[in-house]
Structure formats: C-alpha cells, structure tokens
C-alpha cells in the first residue's frame, strides 16, 4: 500500500526530474511510519531519493519524498533564500531546513505556502499564490500558475505522463528499486 501511494504521488521525483513530492499516508493498520521511512532511506538514498515525515496527526502521516541535491539547488537561489528567511529558515544545512519545514507544518496545522519551493514550483507561482491569496491565477493544475503558463503546462503534462507510465509499470510488477532513477547524492549549500 505504501509503495502504491508512493508511485501514484511521487513518480516525477522518483524519475529524477522533480525536486520533491508530498503524499498523505493513511495509517489504517498502525504501521510504524518512522520504521518504513528509515528502511526506505537506507535502501534508496544511494539513488539520491530521501523520505521525510513532515507532519503526523491521528491516522495519517504526510511524507515528503525529495532529492537533496535538487532541493539545495532550488532553495539557494537568491529569491528563494531571501523569501525563506522571512519564514524563519536558516539555510545553513539541510537538517535545519527540513526541521523548520516540519515546525511550520506543526505551528500552522496546515500546509505552509512556501512548500511550493520544496516541490519544484517556480518562485513566481509560490509568490503569486501568496500575494493573490490563491485567486487570480492563469491556470490551475498541479499548482496554481501565475506566470509562464505555456512552459508550466508542458511541465504538468510531463508529470502526468511520468505518473501514468510509472503506475502501469508498477502494476505490471516492476519493483520500486528499478523505477527510481539514480542521481548524484553529493549535496552542498551554495
């Protein structure tokens, strides 16, 4: 069940062209999510994919699946780093960044708007969503688009095609470790 959710909601990250994805795992069987994530990090970190529980409440956990080298690249852009500092992020190391993200989920008890920067959303769309309070967007797909609509629609299509392909391959018995594309795991802050 965990792997099926992972494939359905995180294929673009597993395929290596998206920084990260989130998915909600409903824990109907009292499975220890921390143990699952520990095992997945052990098995798949060698391929450049990591798993992080950003929020847990009652019967579900919100799991962030990400590629650290992509995340650090995205967050170290001048616009993104200055923006994140406004929300208390210290961009000195990945552990601190993820701890602050978890903290933001906990204090808000909902998804913080800056999450888009952790999910490969363009800065202009994250900022546009906040400035417009989720209104006045040009298109709504994987996220609300405020700028660069044409290229973003192509990206949405790429994500959809990837997810459809991965779901079919998984259904036909291709194991998860064969679906995760290796990327360089060396990470450094700029």
190 pLDDT tier (thresholds 50, 70, 90) = very low
Domain boundaries, the chain: 2-173
- Tens of pLDDT, residue by residue over 51-85, are 999 999 888 999 999 999 999 999 999 999 999 99
User: Rounded to an integer, what distance in angstroms lies between the CA atom of residue 142 and that of residue 130?
Assistant: 16
For residue 140, pLDDT beyond 80: yes
Whether pTM exceeds 0.85:
yes
User: In the structure, how many helices (H) and strands (E) does the chain have?
Assistant: 9, 5
User: Rounded to an integer, what distance in angstroms lies between the CA atom of residue 184 and that of residue 166?
Assistant: 21
DSSP reduced 3-state for 134: coil
User: Rounded to an integer, what distance in angstroms lies between the CA atom of residue 100 and that of residue 174?
Assistant: 36
pLDDT, averaged across the chain: 93
For residue 185, pLDDT beyond 70: no
Q: How many CA atoms lie within 13 A of 77 on its CB side?
A: 14
Q: Would you give the DSSP letter of residue 173? A: T
């Amino acid at each position: 069940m965990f792997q099926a959710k992972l494939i359905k909601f995180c294929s673009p990250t597993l395929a290596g062209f998206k920084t990260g994805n989130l998915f909600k795992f409903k824990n109907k069987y009292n499975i220890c999510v921390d143990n699952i994530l520990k095992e997945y990090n052990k098995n798949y970190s060698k391929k450049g994919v990591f798993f992080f529980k950003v929020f847990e409440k009652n019967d579900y956990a919100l799991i962030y699946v990400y590629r650290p080298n992509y995340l650090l690249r995205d967050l170290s852009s001048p616009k993104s780093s200055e923006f994140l500092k406004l929300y208390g992020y210290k961009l000195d190391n990945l552990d601190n960044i993820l701890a602050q993200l978890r903290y933001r989920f906990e204090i808000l008890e909902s998804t913080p708007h800056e999450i888009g920067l952790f999910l490969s959303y363009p800065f202009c769309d994250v900022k546009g969503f906040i400035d417009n309070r989720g209104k006045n967007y040009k298109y709504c797909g994987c996220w609300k688009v405020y700028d660069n609509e044409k290229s973003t629609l192509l990206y949405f299509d790429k994500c959809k095609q990837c997810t459809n392909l991965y779901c079919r391959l998984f259904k036909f018995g291709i194991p998860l470790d064969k679906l995760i594309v290796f990327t360089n795991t060396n990470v450094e802050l700029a």
